[in-house]
Structure 1
Amino acid sequence: MGAAAPAEAAPNGVDIVLDGADDPAWRALLSPADPETCVREAILAALAGAGHAAARTEVSVTLAEDAAVRELNREWRGKDKPTNILSFPMVQLAPGDSLGPLLGDLVLARETLEREATVERKTALDHFRHLLVHGTLHLAGFDHETDEEAERMEALEIEILRGLGISDPYAETVE
């Protein structure tokens, strides 16, 4: 996966540690965009949208292959398959709770992300940023276990993504 990029303190105090951004397959998938910039923009937008614009916290992001994510998914969730993103909060929060100094970890699976983007007729970059927003909201205490939670989280994602110039990922596509 490569060495992790050191955390860089943003003006609002959000540190992001990114591992795997130097992977040629990830760089090719997200080209011509810069993975570090995309990760920072999506996470900061998600935190601001969740009411944490002045957050002082750290998020670790790992860009991985399906095999690594499958192993984590099996170990931590009992599901023996890869998934697009895994969120590992440092502390279980509820929406609106104060964030601690370490928010948690996000792990993305490249092949799954790429496959989903193709099937859903989205750019890989837009899907990448959507998954980062989605995962960050999980770290901040949002979930989609109930219909009410799902509606709230989806509406927030749509609003945040609109601010990033990304269309509603939940809209039905017309063929």
Structure 2
Amino acid sequence: MTMGTAGPEALEIIVEVEAGDWEATIPGVADLVTAAARRALRQALAVDADALPDGEGEVSILLSDNAAVRVLNHQYRGKDKPTNVLSFPMLDEDGEGDDFELPEGMERPPYLLGDIILAYETLMTEAAEQGKPVANHLTHLVIHGVLHLLGYDHIEDAEAETMERLETAILADMGIADPYRDGAGPTREDPQSEETPH
């Protein structure tokens, strides 16, 4: 539900469970994912007020499984294996969508920030291996995915440090420990594990 005309509250966050035992494992998973995405948007906008275009927008977060994520990872990144999270940004590098002239009297439709898809089995395995609560790991990966949609990346060391600092600050505000403290986290295990497809 769209709540305003600018900023993170004007962004509709659509959460869909496609596959995996998400709802049984994490009661209220859609609310948790929505809250994590909304918090990431708010704090990213506090750092860069122009991170989102004006007007109403949408972001889609799909909770899926290894099989679906493996197909997408292979199709878009040439890696025939599942990964924890994939982000598909829809805005160009300037934070703008398709800019076209609307006929007089017609309202501009919501812009599409992008899509995020998460793999249930990979997330569960990582949480267990890293000794993290599943809900905390999911929260982190949603925040990580949203930041990718806003143009953050971790290919270069300096970019990774900036992204990790923002992720850590957002998580700390939510009462979640630094996921990178032991050298773990989505950007440290496999630097290309959840690179944004283009």
**What TM-score bracket applies, with the shorter chain setting the length?**
0.7 to 0.9
Question: What fraction of aligned residue pairs are identical, expressed as a percent?
Answer: 43
Q: RMSD in angstroms over aligned alpha carbons?
A: 2.2
Residue correspondence of structure 1 range 71-86 to structure 2 within 5 A: 71-86=71-86
Equivalent in the alignment of 1:144: 154
Q: Which runs of 5+ in 1 are unaligned?
A: 1-7
CA deviation vs aligned residue, 1:128-152 (integer Å, no higher than 9, x gap):
0000000000000000000000000
Gaps of 5+ in 2: 98-109, 184-198
The CA distance in 1 between the partners of 2:3 and 2:79, in whole Å, is: 35
Matches within 5 A, 1:157-168: 157-168=167-178
Q: Could you say what secondary structure the match of 1:168 adopts?
A: coil
Letter in 1 for 2:68: A
| Matching residue of 1:61 | 61
Provide closer, same or farther for how the CA distance between residues 156 and 20 of structure 1 changes in structure 2, counting only shifts above 3 A.
Answer: same
| TM-score, normalised by the number of residues in structure 1 | 0.84
- Counting only pairs closer than 5 Å after superposition, residues 39-50 of structure 1 correspond to structure 2 as 39-50=33-44
SS of equivalent residue, structure 2 residue 82: coil
* Residue type at the aligned position of 1:17: I
Structure 2 length-normalised TM: 0.75
Alignment of 1:18-167 (within 5 A): 18-20=15-17, 25-31=21-27, 34-51=28-45, 56-93=56-93, 97=95, 101-167=111-177
Aligned AA (1:59)? V
Task: Determine the structure 2 residue equivalent to 1:5.
Answer: none
CA contact (8 A) 2:152 2:163 kept: yes
Residue type at the aligned position of 1:51: L
Aligned partner of 2:2 in structure 1 is 9
Rounded Cα–Cα distance in structure 1 between residues aligned with 2:92 and 2:86: 14
Distance 2:92 2:145 in 1: 13
Aligned residues: 161
Letter in 2 for 1:84: N
- Structure number with larger C-alpha Rg: 2
